[in-house]
């Protein structure tokens, strides 16, 4: 049982992809060490909760380094669990602050948490052209994964590039298009079952629809709710 | 060679869920019966009434648990029992990791509604440990998947022992110990148990015990 030997990896996989696996694991370990040292150094509880997402990112990296369909199926439950954890912990943080406020005799109604903006240097120094690379790669991938990659590209453009002048309504309408694309996805799936001889158009409708739906779901990516970016 | 049979005796049967495939042995059957009895006992019991005597005051008051709070905690307790049945019967390593981490979240939920800043402080720290420990837990499972190509405990039990799997064994051990709040991480749990509402917090002890029991079996199977 040699790791990643020919008994485990089929012969059709090129050797270069197999050689990527140890590199991915080493990168994940480096990311985890960076994140965990950040948790040790950080004193603010809210910031600590945010920094914990970095080791979780390393977890996604280790799981996805396996690179099979099974790994893709395993990522989603892992994401759901970590999302549930962060929701539960943030609820506890809010209710703890409320309880402390009540103990001190203050009104629990006024909620103004003090938070400091994270000064991430990468948001200022990264090249906006990276977003185009992401979007093109996402379109080539298609499907759910491609949509997520393209959405990340749009997010990079919003954060890094100098986007100004778009109203809040514009971004809402862009996100609304994802609803229309979702309908295309559903119709594509229906055609698969109703008229299987038109499978090609059904495939294109479903694949393209889910790509556009996920890529433009900016609310899911955390963009909506602000009027303008980098004003 | 088959460690499941070595540890548990014969396998009574498999439950063909879609891809979860739990297996029942006399050992896991005993654990399931324990969990079911304990959960039913907790679900029908009322929360405790705790008497609080203030120092230097001639006053003894009774602390009660509000009905809404008790209802939420009872719900979380039942949920925790269901997750524990998954933990002790599952036949898939990734499902084991998922059930263990869901058990951790549900344990957190039992304490989340208590309006006590000490308890909430401890619960927050426990939540941080939970989030960090999902890295070694799922990471160890993924490394094992990459090395052996399977996640089924039935297949893994038939494999010969391999020292290469020790990395993923150690990672899964660290992860499950953190998620189940076992020995090195249990300091936060002790603080959380200061919460009022006695019968429900016993679920946390039971979950630690069951995760620990199952973890030993998993460690032997992965070897």
Distance from CA of A162 to the nearest CA of B (A): 34
Residue B152's SS3 state is strand
pLDDT range class, residue B187, cuts 50, 70, 90: low
Of residues A210 and B183, which shows the higher confidence score?
A210
Q: Establish whether this prediction's ipTM goes over 0.85.
A: no
Percent of residues in chain A assigned helix, strand, coil, to nearest 5: 75, 0, 25
Task: Transcribe A144-193 into DSSP letters.
Answer: HHHHHHHHHHHHHHHHHS---S--HHHHHHHHHHHHHHHHHHHHHHHHHH
Among chain B residues, the shortest Cα distance to A54 is held by B132
Q: Which of A206-220, B72-86, B103-117, B158-172 has the highest mean pLDDT?
A: B72-86
The β-bridge partners of B50 are: B63
Mean pLDDT of B44-61: 77
Using alpha carbons, list the distances in angstroms from residue B209 to B80, B81, B143, B157, B176: 13, 12, 26, 23, 12
Residue A226's pLDDT is what? 52
Judge: B109–A7 Cβ closer than 8 Å, yes or no: no
Judge: A39–B98 Cβ closer than 8 Å, yes or no: no
The C-alpha atoms of residue B80 and residue B35 are separated, in whole angstroms, by 10
Residue B89's SS3 state is helix
* Closest among B160, B163, B154 to B91, alpha carbons compared: B154
pLDDT range class, residue B19, cuts 50, 70, 90: low
Does residue B103 register a pLDDT over 50? yes
Say whether residue A51 is in contact with chain B using an 8 A CB cutoff.
no
Written as six digits, the tokens of B17 are 């869920």
Does residue A2 register a pLDDT over 60? no
Task: Summarize pLDDT for B188-200 with one digit per residue, the tens.
Answer: 666 666 666 667 7
Beta strands in chain B (DSSP E): 13-14, 23-24, 50-53, 60-63
Q: Give me the helices (H) in B11-116, please.
A: 26-44, 67-89, 93-112
Q: What are phi and psi of B153, to 5 degrees?
A: -70, -30
pLDDT range class, residue A34, cuts 50, 70, 90: very high
Least confident of A23-37, A214-228, B93-107, B110-124: A214-228
Closest partner CB to B131 (pick from A1, A52, A103)? A52
Least confident of A125-139, B44-58, B140-154: B44-58
Of residues A131 and A219, which shows the higher confidence score?
A131
Mean pLDDT of B109-114: 80
Taking contacts as CB-CB distances below 8 angstroms, the residues of chain A near B145 are 66, 70-71, 74
Task: Summarize pLDDT for A12-30 with one digit per residue, the tens.
Answer: 878 888 888 889 889 999 9
Q: Residue B35: CB partners within 8 Å, gap ≥ 6?
A: B81, B84, B85, B88, B206, B210
Q: What is the mean pLDDT of chain A?
A: 80
The C-alpha atoms of residue B184 and residue A162 are separated, in whole angstroms, by 48
Mean pLDDT of B94-110: 87
Q: How many CB pairs under 8 A join A and B?
A: 122
Taking contacts as CB-CB distances below 8 angstroms, the residues of chain A near B112 are 88, 91-92, 95
* Closest among A154, A157, A161 to A212, alpha carbons compared: A154
B-side interface with A, Cβ within 8 Å? 94, 98, 101-102, 104-105, 108-109, 112-113, 115-117, 120-121, 123-124, 127-128, 130-132, 134-135, 138-139, 141-143, 145-149, 151, 159-160, 162, 164
Judge: A74–B94 Cβ closer than 8 Å, yes or no: yes
Written as six digits, the tokens of B155 are 């297949």
The C-alpha atoms of residue A10 and residue B156 are separated, in whole angstroms, by 19
With 0-12 CB in 10 A as exposed, 13-18 as middle and 19+ as buried, what is A1?
Answer: middle
CB of B42 within 8 A of CB of B200?
yes
* Closest among A32, A3, A4, A36 to A17, alpha carbons compared: A4
CB of B110 within 8 A of CB of B204?
yes
Mean pLDDT of B133-156: 84
Residue A31's pLDDT is what? 92
Residue A114's pLDDT is what? 59
Least confident of A31-35, A59-63, B48-52: B48-52
Closest partner CB to A88 (pick from B105, B121, B146)? B105
The C-alpha atoms of residue B175 and residue B142 are separated, in whole angstroms, by 13
Domains and CATH numbers, chain A: 1-118 (1.10.287), 119-231 (no CATH)
């Amino acid at each position: 049982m040699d790791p990643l030997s020919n008994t485990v990896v089929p012969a059709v996989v090129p050797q270069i992809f197999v050689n990527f696996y140890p590199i991915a694991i080493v990168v994940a370990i480096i990311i985890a060490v960076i994140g965990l040292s950040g948790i040790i150094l950080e004193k603010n509880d809210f910031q600590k909760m945010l920094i914990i997402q970095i080791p979780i990112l390393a977890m996604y990296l280790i799981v996805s380094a396996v690179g099979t369909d099974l790994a893709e199926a395993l990522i989603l439950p892992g994401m759901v669990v970590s999302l549930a954890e962060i929701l539960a912990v943030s609820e506890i943080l809010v209710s703890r602050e409320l309880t402390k406020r009540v103990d001190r005799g203050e009104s629990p109604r006024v909620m103004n948490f003090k938070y400091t903006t994270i000064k991430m240097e990468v948001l200022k120094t990264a090249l906006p052209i990276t977003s185009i690379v992401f979007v093109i790669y996402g379109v080539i991938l298609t499907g759910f994964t491609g949509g997520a990659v393209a959405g990340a590209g749009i997010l990079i453009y919003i954060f890094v590039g100098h986007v100004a002048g778009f109203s809040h309504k514009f971004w809402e309408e862009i996100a609304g298009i994802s609803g229309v694309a979702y309908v295309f996805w559903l119709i594509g799936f229906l055609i698969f079952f109703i008229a299987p001889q038109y499978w090609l158009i059904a495939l294109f409708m479903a694949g393209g629809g889910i790509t556009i739906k996920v890529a433009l779901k900016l609310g899911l990516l955390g963009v909506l709710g602000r009027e303008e970016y980098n004003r | 060679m088959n460690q499941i049979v070595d540890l548990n005796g014969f396998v009574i049967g498999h439950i063909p869920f879609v891809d979860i495939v739990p297996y029942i042995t006399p050992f896991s059957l005993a654990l399931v019966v324990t969990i079911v009895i304990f959960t039913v006992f907790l679900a029908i019991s009322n929360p405790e009434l705790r008497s609080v005597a203030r120092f230097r005051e001639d006053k003894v008051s009774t602390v009660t648990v509000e009905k809404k709070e008790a209802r939420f905690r009872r719900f979380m307790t039942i949920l925790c029992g269901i997750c524990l049945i998954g933990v002790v019967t599952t036949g898939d390593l990734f499902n084991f990791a998922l059930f263990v981490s869901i058990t951790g979240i549900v344990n957190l939920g039992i304490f989340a509604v208590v309006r006590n800043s000490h308890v909430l402080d401890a619960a927050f720290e426990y939540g941080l440990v939970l989030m960090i420990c999902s890295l070694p837990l799922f990471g160890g499972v993924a490394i094992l998947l990459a090395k052996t190509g399977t996640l089924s405990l039935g297949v893994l039990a038939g494999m010969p022992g391999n020292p290469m799997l020790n990395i993923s064994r150690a990672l899964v051990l660290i992860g499950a110990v953190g998620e189940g709040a076992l020995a090195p991480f249990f300091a936060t749990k002790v603080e959380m148990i200061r919460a009022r509402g006695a019968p429900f917090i016993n679920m946390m002890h039971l979950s630690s015990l069951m995760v620990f029991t199952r973890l030993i079996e998993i460690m032997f199977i992965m070897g």
